[in-house]
């Protein structure tokens, strides 16, 4: 059978006639359906083939719907389960939702009742699978620190990794602070990936990327008819992230009215869909990120003081790239491997390395990634030279004697030679050497310590 547009659906019900009718009717609605008449038969079908949705009766002889759902979710945590139940067993169906069911329908029901529930369930399934795909993609990349997927061994990144290690196993709310392009979402993925919630979804919403009117609907969901264009009910991202982590990027862009609603979720887990009077409860961990100083936003009245303190339980501050220049060679090597455009990874000429170390990187790691992508396109062969970098990076001091060789070297060796040559040219004066390299004296000391460079000592610092 060709794959259906809407998804694959396993229907489990011991009433054979109802089972056949559901398979036929929902098959006509463009679902690929498979029927099973017992929990054991349903488990065999799940083991044999992959399904998007499970629609199961609650009361069945032998293995009931709750037992089936529990075993099904153990095999595939991203499966979305829906319970069918009679009026007298609604409390049991509600209990099933606590155990992982997405929703329930009461028998007898008509097609127009079940179709919207299946459509919402497929939305949840697609989001879960997209998160799984992205997680697998991230895991396949080559990282210097596989556990935390963070590049860099300098003091600044060591502090970040230490904080991640301490906060990840807890359920504490985390506020990630740093300029655009410093890797705030990567920190959120590291915290989630090393938490007890790592097998549940990590769902991301960027408040700056959505219109203000849409953020509330995206976060909290809405009911049918809640506003113009709301043709059917839709779960919010808080609901989709149930049991997992919700990453709210650019949280400072959130409107004040929404800040109050988010505060309530953080305090007691309760929220309402747009257009609904029904109270919902969320079991989610919140990680927020911002590139703005929230203390100033708070003083200006643009950000709630109580929300700031509730978000700022643990703060992880990412330094700009110019304050961790010692990590640039490792980042370059990683980006040239993970974002390789040619048949073999490019190498970098020492003069180009000097330019990369000398530049201030206002766009941080995102800008570095874009510069290296451009350089790979422009490079002759697999060697990136100074001419392959943007013109504003080429405005630099003349090449140092030792680094003017055209032989491509290991990036760490290039960096060591560059720093050593600058020290020798400055006759040991660290202030002059740091000025020549375009870095701070503190960064120069870190380079000296990293490569065990002996101070030429020919002139003392002023």
User: What CATH number is attached to the domain comprising 398?
Assistant: 1.10.8.60
**Mean pLDDT computed over 242-254:** 93
With 50 as the cut, is the pLDDT of residue 19 above it? yes
Pair (194, 207) in one structural domain: yes
Spatial separation of the C-alpha atoms in residues 107 and 403, rounded to whole Å: 78
Please tell me the distance from the alpha carbon of residue 129 to that of residue 124, in angstroms, as a whole number: 9
Check residue 386 and give left, alpha or beta (phi > 0: left; psi -120 to 50: alpha). alpha
Q: What is the pLDDT of residue 233?
A: 82
Report the candidate in 261, 279, 273, 281 with the shortest Cα–Cα distance to residue 224. Answer: 273
**Is the same domain home to 341 and 375?**
yes
Quick check: is 131 in a domain?
no
* pLDDT(408) > 50: no
Mean pLDDT of the chain: 83
Work out the average pLDDT over 449-454.
74
pLDDT band at 343 (very low <50, low <70, confident <90, very high): confident
pLDDT tens-place string over residues 83-126? 888 766 677 777 778 778 888 888 888 888 889 999 999 989 98
Q: Is residue 46 a contact partner of residue 16, using CB atoms and an 8 Å limit?
A: no
Indicate which CATH number applies to the domain containing 32.
3.40.50.2300
- Does 257 map to a domain? yes
Kindly state whether residues 153 and 261 are assigned to the same domain.
yes
Please tell me whether residues 309 and 329 are part of one structural domain: no
Question: Domain ends where: 279, 302, 319?
Answer: 319
Judge if 405 and 369 occupy the same domain.
yes
The values of phi and psi at residue 102, to 5°, are -80, -40
pLDDT classification of 267: cutoffs 50, 70, 90: very high
Pick the residue with more confidence: 461 or 250?
250
CATH of the domain at 190: 3.40.50.300
Token pair recorded at residue 241 = 């992230």
∠ at Cα 51 (48, 57), nearest 5°? 100
Residue bearing tokens 């008819």: 225
pLDDT at 454: 62
Mean pLDDT of 437-462: 65
Clarify whether residues 278 and 198 are in a common domain.
Answer: yes
pLDDT over 70 percentage in the chain: 87
- Residues 326, 299 share a domain: no
Q: Report the number of distinct structural domains present in the chain.
A: 3
Same domain, 262 and 378: no
CA distance 118 to 114: 6
Q: Is residue 401 part of a domain?
A: yes
129 domain residue, yes or no: no
Question: How many CA atoms lie within 13 Å of 380's alpha carbon, on the beta-carbon side?
Answer: 3
- Give the Cα separation of 239 and 145 in Å (integer): 32
Q: Is the pLDDT reported for residue 71 higher than 70?
A: yes
Does residue 226 belong to any structural domain of this protein? Answer: yes
Domain span holding position 266: 141-319
Spatial contact of 250 and 303, defined as CB atoms under 8 Å apart: no
**Exposure letters 332-344 (e unless 16+ CB within 10 A, then b):** bbbbbeeeeeeee
Cα 339 from Cα 365, distance rounded (Å): 13
Residue 226 confidence class, pLDDT cut points 50, 70, 90: confident
The helix/strand count (H/E) of the chain reads as: 19, 16
pLDDT at 384 over 80: yes
Residue where a domain stops, chosen among 265, 289, 319: 319
**Domain check: are 203 and 113 in the same one?**
no
pLDDT tens, 410-438? 566 667 777 887 787 778 888 888 777 76
For residues 274 and 214, give the distance between their C-alpha atoms in angstroms, rounded to a whole number: 11
- Give the number of other Cβ atoms within 10 Å of residue 351's Cβ: 23
Rounded mean pLDDT, 67-78: 89
Q: Which two tokens stand for residue 92?
A: 């049991």
**294 and 194: one domain?**
yes
315 and 216 housed in the same domain: yes
* In the predicted structure, residue 23 carries a pLDDT above the cut 90: yes
Mean pLDDT check: name the lowest of 147-156, 227-236, 406-415: 406-415
For residues 304 and 174, membership in a common domain is answered with yes
**Integer distance in angstroms from the first to the last C-alpha of the chain?**
80
The answer, yes or no, to whether residue 328 has pLDDT greater than 60, is yes
Angle at 170 between CA 167 and CA 171, to 5 degrees: 110
Dihedral class, residue 418 (left if φ above 0, else alpha if ψ from -120 to 50, else beta): alpha
């Amino acid at each position: 059978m060709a794959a259906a547009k809407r998804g694959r659906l396993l229907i489990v019900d011991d009433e054979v006639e109802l089972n056949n009718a559901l398979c036929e009717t929902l098959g006509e609605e463009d679902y690929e359906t498979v029927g099973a008449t017992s929990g054991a038969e349903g488990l065999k079908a799940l083991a044999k083939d992959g399904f998007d949705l499970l629609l199961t009766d609650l009361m069945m002889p032998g293995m009931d719907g709750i037992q089936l759902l529990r075993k099904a979710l153990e095999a595939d945590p991203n499966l979305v389960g829906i319970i069918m139940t009679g009026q007298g067993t609604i409390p049991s169906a509600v209990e099933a939702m606590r155990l992982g069911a997405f929703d329930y329908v009461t028998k007898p029901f008509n097609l127009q009742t079940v179709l919207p529930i299946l459509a919402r369930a497929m939305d949840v399934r697609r989001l879960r699978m997209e998160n799984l795909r992205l997680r697998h993609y991230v895991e396949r990349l080559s990282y210097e620190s596989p556990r935390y997927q963070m590049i860099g061994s300098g003091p600044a990144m060591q502090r970040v990794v230490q904080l991640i290690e301490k906060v990840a196993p807890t359920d504490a709310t985390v506020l990630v602070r740093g300029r655009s392009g410093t890797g705030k979402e990567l920190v959120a993925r590291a915290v989630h990936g090393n938490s007890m919630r790592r097998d549940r979804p990590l769902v991301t919403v960027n408040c700056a990327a959505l219109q203000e009117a849409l953020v509330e609907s995206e976060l909290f969901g809405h009911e049918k008819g809640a506003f113009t264009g709301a043709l059917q009910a839709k779960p919010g991202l808080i609901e989709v992230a149930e049991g997992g982590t919700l990453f709210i990027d650019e949280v400072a862009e959130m409107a004040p009215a929404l800040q109050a609603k988010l505060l309530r979720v953080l305090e007691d887990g309760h929220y309402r869909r747009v257009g609904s009077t029904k109270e919902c409860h969320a079991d989610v961990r919140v990680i927020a990120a911002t590139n703005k100083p929230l203390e100033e936003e708070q003083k200006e009245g643009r950000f709630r003081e109580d929300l700031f303190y509730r978000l700022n339980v643990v703060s992880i501050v990412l330094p700009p790239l110019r304050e961790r220049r010692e990590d640039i060679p490792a980042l370059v090597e990683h980006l040239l491997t993970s974002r390789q455009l040619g048949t073999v990874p490019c190498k970098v000429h020492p003069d180009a390395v000097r330019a990369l170390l000398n530049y201030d990187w206002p766009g941080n790691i995102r800008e570095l990634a874009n510069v290296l992508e451009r350089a790979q396109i422009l490079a002759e062969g697999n060697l990136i030279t100074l001419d392959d970098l943007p013109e504003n990076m080429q405005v630099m001091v003349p090449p140092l004697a030792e680094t003017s060789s055209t032989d491509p070297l290991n990036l760490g060796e290039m960096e060591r030679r560059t720093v050593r040559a600058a020290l020798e040219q400055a006759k040991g004066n660290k202030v002059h050497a740091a000025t020549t390299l375009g870095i701070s004296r503190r960064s120069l000391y870190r380079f000296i310590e990293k490569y065990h460079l002996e101070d030429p000592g020919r002139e003392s610092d002023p």
